[in-house]
A = this chain, B = another copy of it.
Amino acid sequence: MSPTSSPVSPLPGPAVTGSLRIAFLGPFGTFCEQAARQILPADAELKPATGVESALLMVRTGEADRAVVPIENSVEGGVNATLDTLAHGQPLTIVGEILVPIAFSLMVRPDSDLELNDLQRIGTHSHAWAQTRDWVTANVGPAVSHIPTTSTAEAAKLLMEDPDCGYDAVLCSAVSAVQYGGRVLADGIADNPDAQTRFVLVSPPGSIPAPTGADKTTVQVALPGNESGALLSMLEQFSARGVNLSRIESRPVGGHFDRYAFSIDLEGHVSEERVKAALVGLHRTCPEVRFLGSYPRVDRMRTQIQRGTANVDFATARAWLDEVLAGRAV
């Protein structure tokens, strides 16, 4: 298992009869496939989906047992779709996260003798193009055209299958390059060498991974109003219990722009008292709170517990309160 994925084998989530089927954002060769392979148990089966919604629907309908989908900074899109699909409809649970470093291979057909300077048109996903433009300008030239495709893997696939696909090279993942068998002119291409995409492993509800001390919890919270005061009050529910956030994103609710929900990753596990207290506070004061999972952090970074927010602090305080209520004030 790679150090950039958090689930342990066997994969967390409800047990499965037979081999595990994992849906992912296809086709084969995407970074999402790479993510899925990082946690793939020996006898599991990978099932490509045409979109994030489809991948998650496959889990909801039982066509797949798990899904791997991008949730942050995806090179091939899908992040908003992931957040929104998880937030609505039949419950699903995040049970792990996976990091994939983002770098591209520039590939031509196996029989092509084109070199960097000969390239006229490059096919790839527009997000991939955005993350390689500096390199392309410097190494291929400023005049080369971009032909957008629905994924980097799709670009590679088409290049091999169809000489009339409209471009003479692709920028795709290393996995795609191997899979589709072209000639690689350059690899490890990334304008930002630290770029990575975060994926989540999603399962049907029923089983929350045990706390490890280095966990994340994902929730979706709708605000009661659209003022900054409402957002401040919501954040106060976290800070009053010393709960840190590692991600917060606003999502418009219902196609309007006058009401917002927030997708939030917080540091900690739902079984910890401070997280429980914060969730109770959210549920009391916000029109909608959806629990989307507690799972080990991929970076294994242990949660910094602020003074007065450990489980024992809650227990001590409640014991004191019981004394007070019994008339034995101290």
Q: Verify A126–B150 contact, CB threshold 8 A.
A: yes
Cross-chain contact A205 with B237 (CB below 8 angstroms):
no
For the complex, give the distance between the alpha carbons of A5 and B2 in Å.
50
Given A51-B148, A254-B194: A239 in contact with B229 (beta carbons within 8 A): yes
Are B149 and A284 in contact, CB atoms less than 8 angstroms apart?
no
* A236 → B minimal CB distance (Å): 5
Q: How far is the CB of A29 from chain B (nearest CB, A)?
A: 15
The smallest C-beta distance from A13 to any residue of chain B, in angstroms, reads 10
* A193–chain B nearest beta-carbon distance, Å: 8
Scan residues 49-104 of chain A and give those whose CB is less than 8 A from a CB of chain B. Answer: 50-51, 53-54, 72-73, 77, 79-81, 91, 93, 102
- Quick check: B279 and A324 within 8 Å, CB to CB? yes
* Least distance between A33 CB and chain B CB atoms (Å): 17
In the complex, A277 has a CB within 8 A of chain B: yes
Chain A residues with a Cβ closer than 8 Å to the other chain, count: 95
Closest to A298 in B: B257
> Which of A105-113, A170-178, A310-318 forms contacts with chain B?
A310-318
Closest Cβ–Cβ distance, residue A325 to chain B (whole Å)? 6
Specify which of B50, B195, B235 is in contact with A231 (CB 8 Å cutoff): B235
A73 touches B254 (CB 8 A): no
A interface secondary structure, majority: mixed
Q: Does A1 contact B (CB under 8 A)?
A: no
How many monomers of this protein are in the complex? 4
Q: Does A183 contact B (CB under 8 A)?
A: no
Residue of B at shortest CB range from A247?
Answer: B250
* B277 with A277: CB separation less than 8 A: yes
CB atoms of A228 and B249 under 8 A apart: no
A291 touches B324 (CB 8 A): yes
Tell me whether A246 is interfacial, beta carbon within 8 Å.
yes
Whether the pair A50, B146 counts as a contact (CB closer than 8 A) is: yes
A271, CB-defined interface residue at 8 Å:
yes
Instruction: Give a binary string over A252-290; 1 marks a CB under 8 Å from any B CB, 0 the rest.
Output: 101111101000001000110000110111011110011
CB closest residue in chain B, given A130: B53
Chain B residues, Cβ within 8 Å of A243: 228
- Given A226-B244, A228-B266, 18 more pairs with CB closer than 8 A: A51-B129, A51-B146, A51-B148, A53-B129, A73-B257, A192-B254, A206-B327, A206-B328, A224-B307, A228-B238, A228-B239, A229-B244, A235-B235, A247-B257, A270-B325, A277-B277, A279-B317, A290-B330
